[in-house]
Chains A and B, each alone.
Chain A
Amino acid sequence: MPILVFLVLPSLIIVPMALTKGDLIQFPPIWISIHSFTDYLGDPAWAQSTILSFKVSILAVAIGGLAGTTAAMAMHGRPFRGRNLVAGFIVSPIVVPAVVLALGDYLLLAPLQLVGNWMALAIVHAMHVTPYVFISVQTSLAVGLSAALVRSARSLGAGRLAVFRFVYWPAIRPGLLAGGVLGFAVSFDDVVLSLFLQGPTTITLPVRMFTAIEYDLTPKIAASASVFIALAVLGLVVQGLSARGRTAA
């Protein structure tokens, strides 16, 4: 417990630090002003990075969500040779060191002139999102879907689309939501991939913060960090609500 407090405390003092009057990020802050927030939002470079981060992460979650869900669906209830190998391959982006992935992708995308392209960056992020969605959808399918359920729907007259809508989708939904939230967090947070694949107009928020902390130590860093904390809290709330909805269902 003390170790936990020791580790969590620094992230909790970030928000008060953003409320400083000074022009440097410092502790203790000089109370009290919101100029760092207005500076942060008013600075075109920072605003652009924030929007870019959202764009990249949303697209990454969309692609990764689709890939992870379809992979989990395809493998559900089908034992075949090499099944574990395929599953291992899908989750490998979590295991392979991020630097190695980033370097590999850099070497792949550079000749294609795609380094600095935000959609290419989103696709690379999607690769990182996929395993989270895959694992959580796999789990929710194992809990919520059975062959008998599919058969019973078909015997009651449900065609392919109706089987998906009334049997698969309700079973997938909780896993997709959980995996999507987690995947978004992973993507939004990512520094390593985004750092390797950055271009003049594709500097994600974490990368901008990382650069800023090296050069100007502006309290905008603390202000933008609050965005992350707000998102994390939002993610927890969404998960909590959906979990409650499930037990009530």
Chain B
Amino acid sequence: MSDQPPSRRSGRQLDVEGVWKSYGSRPFVVRDVSFVLEPGEFLTLLGPSGSGKTTMLMLIAGFESLTRGTIRVDGRDIAGEPPEQRNFGIVFQGYALFPHMSVLDNVSFPLRMKGVGARERQRQAAEMLDKVGLDGFGARRPHELSGGQQQRVALARALVFEPDALLLDEPLGALDRKLREQLQIEIKEIQRRVGVSVLLVTHDQDEAMMMSDRIAVMAEGEIVQIGSPGDVYLHPATPFVAGFLGETNLLPGECRGFEGDHVVIRFRNGELGRARIPRFGGRPAPGDAVLASIRPERMRILKPDETADSFIEGKVVSCAFLGRHARYVVDADDQSVVVSTTDWSEHSALAPGTPVRLGWLSEDAQSLLAKDRHDK
């Protein structure tokens, strides 16, 4: 199969348009969600639990019925089709391998359901097992495999019938950190080799950043922002996105006007600072309450002679050495500000109570409208 061009197996286009979902009279769990999964694309629905991302996946798979909206595969509306007639490969959180079947039987199961002959489906299943690096494991039972191996069997089973798209529901949730990182790379590699489009659902932002072409950040049933990992991390549209993808400091202030590409912000202590105008999301107007989002690794503790574009003053609360970097918590303007620095030695560590000046470059700060109902 490797001689086939990737486009031959790169899946179809999945269109999700204006999808709403509610259970009975309860409030909507999915609100007006629209996105397109391009053939061959790796798109992640990222959000905290209860954000509606798993429900969205179940709607696409057909295990939940739409309240409103349409879901199309290559332009064909699939709303009326039961899950067994839709052509999606799904990997569930616990893998859901059939415990009484051998690995090979598990992988050839979808082919058997499609009426492929015994020899042909065994051949294809063995080939797919080879692709996921489980050559020779066909005769084993699922419980004889490690978590990572089971995961790959589930992946092989979901890919063997050339699905329109691969849907992954927190597939790595049950594994420990090291194995998870290793499998993230492996899944990405397998996806590239097979060329299938993938929709991943996860709450793990590292996983989303590592694997995705695009990330759709979800909160309270809505997509808050959709874009490349770089876009959502560097140019968050709302304070929620800024806080959910990585850690950030959100300093409240008021918009006082503009200076080039920057918003001038007056902080609560009266000092003026600058932050970029948001690329996505609402643009603040003078007088609006805004937040300046500055990542801990961009916030600096200034030496007495150093300057920065903007700064605030505070007192060190605590300092923790974490190996690669040190992490200070500073009380500034009645708010905890986190500073992550590699400039740390046993002698230069600042004791709690030390007054410090924190500064940042205008380029490293992002202004955000404070009004955000996803703000938690």
Contact = CB atoms under 8 A, between A and B. Distances in A.
A158 interface: yes
A151 B83 contact: yes
- How many B residues are at the interface, by size bracket? 20 to 34
Interface stretch (B84-92, B283-291, B357-365): B84-92
B94 interface: yes
Nearest to A157: B113
Contacts, number: 62
Interface in A136-178: 144, 146, 148-149, 151-159, 162, 166-167, 170
A155 B98 contact: no
A156 B96 CA distance: 12
B125 to A, nearest CB: 12
A166 B109 contact: yes
A162 B113 contact: yes
Interface string A206-248: 0000000000000000000000000000000000000000000
A156 B113 CA distance: 7
Interface in B43-97: 61, 63, 82-86, 88-90, 92-94, 96
A112 interface: no
B104 to A, nearest CB: 15
A157 B94 contact: no
A144 B100 CA distance: 10
Contacts of B101: 166
B92 A159 contact: no
Contacts of B92: 148, 151-152
B114 interface: yes
Q: Which of B90, B100, B141 has the most CB of A within 10 A?
A: B100
Contact of A154 (B83, B93, B100, B141): B83
Nearest to B93: A148
B93 to A, nearest CB: 7
Contacts of B110: 156-157
B235 interface: no
Contacts of A151: 61, 63, 83, 90, 92, 96
Contacts of B161: 156-157
A4 interface: no
A155 B84 contact: yes
A74 interface: no
B99 interface: yes
Contact of A149 (B82, B90, B96): B96
Nearest to A249: B100
Interface of B: 61, 63, 82-86, 88-90, 92-94, 96, 98-101, 109-110, 113-114, 141, 157-158, 161
The 7 tightest CB contacts between A and B, nearest first, are A157-B113, A152-B96, A156-B110, A148-B96, A170-B100, A155-B90, A154-B83
15 contacts: A148-B94, A148-B96, A151-B61, A152-B90, A152-B92, A152-B96, A155-B83, A155-B86, A155-B88, A156-B110, A156-B158, A157-B161, A159-B113, A166-B98, A170-B100
Interface of A: 144, 146, 148-149, 151-159, 162, 166-167, 170, 249
